[in-house]
């Protein structure tokens, strides 16, 4: 009788342990799927926006699943999320690729962004105070240091900080977010903005003009200086296009 009880207890413990292990395995399998999909989406989004995955680059589910060591399900979910952000394009019988924009779409986005940036600079000049003046001096110093001592990647970071300083100075979070969203949409087309000393020097000079106008509280000059800084005009846009491979642009769906 004692042997039977010991055997029964051991069997129940083993069965319970096996069941718990199976249950935990199932939970672990289910739980990370959304999390893994988000992780994969974040990683791919960073690579797309940084230009590591250029416009038109193919995205194969099987290859991505092997790379991230997951099944194809979280990869598929990540690609759906990226498609919703207009960063990935899914075409029947043609597969999945990094979304390409038409030249006209890019022109429209950059033109709109330029006007929004100009308004942001105008509002910053209107609302300038001593703190913003100091922040702009700091941002300019970072740009100058990066221009002289560092490379394009460091200057790109300093440029980002300069513009963010103006967004904060405008005290209009809605406007700032509109600009950020527009910039994210075409960031993959801006990867060659600071690849030469001439480009960096031109950007730095523009920054100085914008910063001084804001610090002087000159709304009209700040707006004009920022508008000239963004490459949406005829000359600036032409130079921008000249640096881009034509394969980056979508010619299949003309919106003109």
Question: How large is the average pLDDT for residues 182-195?
Answer: 82
Q: Identify the band that residue 191 occupies on the pLDDT scale cut at 50, 70 and 90.
A: confident
Does residue 44 surpass a pLDDT of 80? yes
pLDDT at 256 exceeding the cut of 80 = no
User: What pLDDT shows up at residue 29?
Assistant: 42
Checking if the pLDDT of 27 tops 90, the result is no
Choose from 36-40, 235-239, 252-256 the range with maximum mean pLDDT: 36-40
Architecture of domain 2-98: Orthogonal Bundle (1.10)
More confident residue, 46 or 26: 46
Domain 103-248, CATH: 1.20.120.530
Query: What confidence category does residue 253 fall into, taking pLDDT thresholds of 50, 70 and 90?
Result: low
SS3 string, the chain, reads CHHHHHHHHHHHHHHHHHHHHHHHHHHHHHHHHHHHHHHHHHHHHHHHHCCCCCCCCECCHHHHHHHHCCCHHHHHHHHHHHHHCCCEEEECCCEEEECCECHHHHHHHHHHHHHHHHHHHHHHHHCCCHHHHHHHHHHHHHHHHHHHHCCHHHHHHHHHHHHHHHHHHHCCHHHHHHHHHHHHHHHHHCCCCCCCHHHHHHHHHHHHHHHHHHHCCCHHHHHHHHHHHCCCCHHHHHHHHHCCCHHHECCCCCCC
Model pLDDT, residue 210: 98
Q: List the domain boundaries for the chain.
A: 2-98, 103-248
């Amino acid at each position: 009788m004692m042997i039977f009880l010991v055997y029964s207890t051991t069997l129940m413990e083993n069965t319970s342990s096996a069941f718990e292990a199976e249950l935990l395995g199932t939970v672990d399998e289910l739980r990370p799927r959304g999390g893994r999909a988000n992780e994969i989406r974040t990683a791919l989004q960073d690579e797309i926006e940084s230009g590591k995955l250029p416009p038109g680059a193919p995205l194969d589910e099987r290859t991505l699943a092997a790379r991230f060591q997951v099944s194809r399900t979280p990869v598929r979910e990540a690609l759906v999320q990226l498609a919703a952000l207009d960063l990935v394009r899914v075409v029947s019988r043609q597969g999945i690729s990094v979304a390409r924009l038409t030249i006209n779409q890019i022109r429209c986005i950059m033109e709109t962004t330029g006007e929004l940036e100009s308004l942001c600079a105008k509002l910053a000049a209107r609302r300038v105070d001593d703190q913003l003046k100091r922040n702009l001096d700091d941002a300019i110093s970072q740009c100058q240091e990066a221009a002289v001592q560092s490379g394009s990647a460091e200057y790109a970071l300093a440029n980002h900080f300069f513009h963010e300083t103006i967004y904060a100075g405008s005290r209009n979070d809605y406007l700032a977010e509109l600009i950020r969203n527009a910039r994210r949409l075409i960031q993959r087309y801006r990867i060659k903005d600071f690849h030469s000393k001439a480009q960096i020097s031109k950007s730095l000079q523009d920054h100085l003009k914008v910063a001084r106008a804001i610090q002087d509280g000159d709304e009209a000059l700040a707006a004009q200086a920022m508008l000239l800084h963004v490459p949406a005009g005829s000359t600036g846009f032409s130079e921008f296009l000249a640096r881009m491979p034509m394969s980056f642009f979508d010619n299949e769906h003309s919106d003109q």
